[in-house]
Amino acid sequence: MRISPEGLAEGVRYIASPNYDERPAGAEINLLVLHSISLPPGEYGGDGIERLFTNRLDPQAHPYFREIISLQVSAHFLLRRDGELLQFVPVHRRAWHAGASSWRGRERCNDFSIGVELEGSDETPFEDRQYRRLAALVRDLRAALPLRDIAAHSDIAPGRKSDPGARFDWARLLSALSAS
């Protein structure tokens, strides 16, 4: 997979999110932030995440949706449990995934990061297909961008966020990346 000049991953379904803006001038995209999400919480395979990232969440569809209906969030990519990869924001744009955050002394991680959501939760192991596809995505993004670091949402927003959680196998991802 290549990243096009428009910032889109070729061969990946693109669902445009309105929840993005321009990065600061000269911002170097050197951090990838891993998240996990399931909507409704603990449920997989529905369209809740897509609806959240496109501001089309139906508050009547689930009681939890009424709590988050006002959120305007996105990520660059969503990696479903079956390995399907979706893109919501071009990589050269600033997706709204990190919130109040800091990495290595730099505030506002959205300015210089790519956000990847893994369909999952802190309590559930991730799928083999997700690890394989994630490693491939990271390799492709590294070929197109000066990515140097990969961090958990919990690393850039400690005390506020816990994802992707203790069930995410960092050693597995790093091993797959070092083997390529």
What is the per-residue pLDDT for 180?
64
Residue 1 lies in a domain: no
Residue 22 lies in a domain: yes
Rounded to whole angstroms, how far apart are CA atoms 116 and 88?
10
Residue 2 lies in a domain: no
Q: Is 117 a catalytic residue?
A: yes
Long-range Cβ contacts of 64-71 (<8 Å, 24+ apart): 64/39, 64/40, 65/39, 65/40
Backbone angles phi, psi at 26, to 5 degrees: 80, 5
Catalytic residue among 117, 119, 123, 127: 117
Pairing of strands 106-107, 113-119: unpaired
What is the per-residue pLDDT for 156?
97
Residue 5 lies in a domain: no
Q: What percent of the chain has a predicted confidence (pLDDT) above 70?
A: 99
What is the per-residue pLDDT for 27?
95
Number of domains in the chain: 1
For the chain, give the mean pLDDT.
Answer: 96
Give the SS3 label for residue 170. helix
Helices (H), 2-158: 48-53, 63-68, 128-144, 153-156
Tens of pLDDT, residue by residue over 35-66, are 999 999 999 999 999 999 999 999 999 999 99
Whichever domain contains 105, its CATH number is 3.40.80.10
Residue 166 lies in a domain: yes
Tens of pLDDT, residue by residue over 114-134, are 999 999 999 999 999 999 999
CB atoms within 10 A of CB 61: 15
